[in-house]
Structure 1
């Protein structure tokens, strides 16, 4: 297929789609006051819209979509996902009740669940192991860019034309992207059975057996999931700064957004590029690089919780905290896909997304809130500081799992199938 002869163009297209996905995912946050008022919903209902409904749909569907991407055309899986989430984003703009918005957001998440597993599998095929971390890092740059752009849209176009018009426009843009994408052919149905993913249930069971029997892969996934505890603590960062560090709510919100956009994006690029360069020289490859990166960043992240608010060390620690999770996306996905057969890569990516969303983000966020409430009820001073420090330690403990993965990979070499230029 001609389009596979330009891997850089494929990467740029996937990055654009990933950017759109995270704008559609996070734009609800940028319009939270207006949507809560217009739909007459309470804070608990709003929390369900931005949290539980997303995890319930995205987490489960990511693995199912991964099995489809390993078996059928990945370009058409992505196109179908873009079409579904874009139509449902457009429908979100028409929502008049909480129930209507919840249904629309559920299917937005279901559509977006198709993107990452299929894109990771495709990039792992098109880019050799020496360049894979860079490609993955650039693709996942869509996360911080999408978050930042969603708030910028809410503050500019949204402020002038309203949240409903913004949702309509995003939906139309997505449909316009999905149509030509569906025309890109990928003849995976003609692959031999041994080179193609199995039916969904069989594929899932095969992948679980692979993970159970591959120590380096198992440890890498565990470490990558643990790093996402940082995202659970991020939900409470502004509350911590205002309530326990005495900072101004309006001012710090703008700074958090700007610094997260800047250093999250920087992390995606730097982590991917450096991992590819250093992994070639380090025993244990990408896993060793991730171990060293987490260990290097750990002192700054811990110091951040104790440094005087507004001090240089405080902001350095904050920026490192935004940098580190995104810097691990490139090397972690490169390592995971390199340790998996080509016909299982999308499913394993979907399994990883499932674990991240359920264990780190959903359960992690609830646990942070519950632990904070418990400490407050027992009269503990600075309860959020104590709880968020615990989440920091848990995220940093990922270095142990990455180190175990590096040790295991030296004994059990990674599987790297050279990318095919065509799948005819």
Structure 2
């Protein structure tokens, strides 16, 4: 979940100091028709939160009339700032002799879209495929270590940029470094841990996503506002980059390439059986349908991530729900992703990989009505239903990659993860752009019903259909012992016909 610094929204309240207790004890404000939502944010979290400050310092992006008062709320002012379309009319907006708007850069516009979208997404997805292929042929631990160092250096240098084009180049470098993480780490973890722990391991690994989402909000917003050493928005990048560099160095010194293991379905194949070409593996109906379902689910999650802060600021302008969103993301989301891994591990030993897909379908189905409530109800109901929805909805991420590594053979496992991420990020990450035109036609809240809660439901149906394409539980061959599967029955001819001898 990404917490937007929605400065373009007319509901932007920079100085709002209401806490959650005040919010939940008051009646929700009147919901006004919102302006079109700003463009989607990139997967890199601090960039989204600090965009306004960066744009003002480096002088890029759109200029707009923004609310700028620490003493007034939107319910007090006679005319909202976004109605002014030039500097003079913006400065003329006043209440009781006090100007409450400012004409300044809002951090959005085509310049922001370039660094948030193509400069990151295209490089991230294409490099993910390339590095996934490399991971199936070379030492994954070394590649991951080098890419992690590149990623950390790019973050540190971002804090030192002086020009907009510096920012673009470093976004490209950062995307290249980050793209190695999932294909490499997924393959390494699947070789280190056994099947009965794989769902939990993938869940814990992907917990980093939710931790990153949540931490980006207080670090990107409040640390920037502290203006430590007069560096403002640059401090979060220096701090995050130094931490990333320390972790990358530790990983370089401690991580070793594990022996590659045949896991999941591949472990039951007969010795000497020819390996399928990579393209045939990737075009299996079950992998294609799993990828489509994951892309739809990713779109639902990204739609909420791109719009949650904007939506709650717009419909409940006098309430600061930021810390509650932080708690839902980093606490409830983390619990949900771990519980999903544990539950799928409990069933996979008895019911096979099909049970993991069933967990996906059921969890997304349960989360759907609560997701609907999180954008329909008043603040109390919205936050309660959001917490419940998030618990079940976020079970999916660790499970889906546990499934993927268990149904793809060893020789193309990392390639499959890279291609899977390429499709999922490009489809699921870009479909939320449709929220803007749809919101103009039927309304902002209604568009979220479709692309957020509705896509949760659609993904549940697709995961359910995928379940029938998966293999069931492993069955011991007839020539194996019940107590000791390693004991086999060989048919030996001894002159009296073929008799089974236990050896």
Q: Could you say which TM-score interval applies, normalised by the shorter chain? A: 0.7 to 0.9
1:223 to 1:405, Cα distance in 2 relative to 1, 3 A: same
2:340 is equivalent to residue 340 of structure 1: no
1:299 to 369, 380, 390: 369
TM-aligned CA deviation for residue 99 of structure 1: 1.3
Give the structure 1 partner of residue 339 of structure 2.
Answer: 270
Change in 2 beyond 3 A, CA 1:188/1:68: farther
- SS at 1:248's partner residue? coil
Matched residue, 1:207: 278
Residue ranges of structure 2 left out of the alignment (5+ in a row): 1-42, 62-107, 267-275, 476-503
Residue deviations 1:168-221 (CA, integer Å, cap 9, x gap): 333333333333433457568999xxx9xxxxxxxxx943321213x3322222
Does residue 255 of structure 1 match 2:319? no
Q: 1:370 aligns with which of 418, 437, 454?
A: 437
Matched, 1:410 2:410: no
Distance between the aligned counterparts of 1:153 and 1:71, measured in 2?
Answer: 38
1:125 counterpart residue number? 191
Q: Is the 8 A contact 2:191 2:260 kept in 1?
A: no
Name the CA distance, whole Å, in 2 between partners of 1:187 and 1:237.
Answer: 40
Return the offset for 1:30: 3.0
Paired residue secondary structure (2:471): helix
Q: 1:71 to 1:355 in 2, by over 3 A?
A: same
- Please list the CA deviations of residues 111-158 of structure 1 after superposition, one character each: whole Å capped at 9, or x if unmatched: 000111000011111111211000000000001111222223235554
Distance change (3 Å), C-alpha of 1:361 and 1:120 = same
2:309 is matched with 238
* Structure-2 change in CA distance of 1:233 and 1:133 (3 Å): same
Larger relative contact order (Cα-Cα within 8 Å, sequence gap ≥ 6): 1
Counting strand residues as a fraction of each chain, which structure ranks higher? 2
* Residue 309, structure 1, aligned to residue 340, structure 2: no
What corresponds to 2:4 in structure 1? none
Structure 1 residue 90 corresponds to structure 2 residue 177: no
* Cα gap change, 1:238 to 1:176, in 2 (>3 Å): closer
2:413 is aligned with 1:357: no
| Count of residues in correspondence between the two structures | 367
The Cα shift of 1:101 comes to 0.5
Task: Check whether the contact 2:260–2:410 (CA below 8 A) recurs between aligned residues.
Answer: no
Alignment match of 2:127 (pick from 54, 57, 61): 61
Describe the shift of the 1:269–1:86 C-alpha distance in structure 2 as closer, same or farther (beyond 3 A): same
- Structure 1 segments unaligned to the other structure (5+ residues): 1-23, 196-204, 415-424
Asked if structure 2 preserves the Cα contact closer than 8 Å seen for 1:133 and 1:331, the reply is: yes
- How far is the alpha carbon of 1:264 from its aligned partner? 1.6
Aligned to 1:73: 139
Q: Report deviation, 1:356.
A: 1.7
Distance 2:474 2:52 in 1: 52
Shift of 1:325: 4.2
Aligned partner (choices 34, 42, 45) of residue 53 of structure 2: 34
Question: Which residue number in structure 1 is paired with residue 33 of structure 2?
Answer: none
Q: TM-score, normalised by structure 1?
A: 0.79
Normalising by structure 2, report the TM-score: 0.67
Cα gap change, 1:186 to 1:331, in 2 (>3 Å)? same
Aligned-residue Cα RMSD (Å) equals 2.8
- Indicate the structure with greater helix content: 1
- Aligned pair partner of 1:326 in 374, 394, 403: 394
Query: Using the alignment, how far apart are the partners of 1:249 and 1:324 within structure 2?
Result: 29
Q: Return closer, same or farther for 1:335/1:47 CA change in 2, 3 Å cut-off.
A: same
Q: Distance in 2 between matches of 1:105 and 1:76?
A: 23
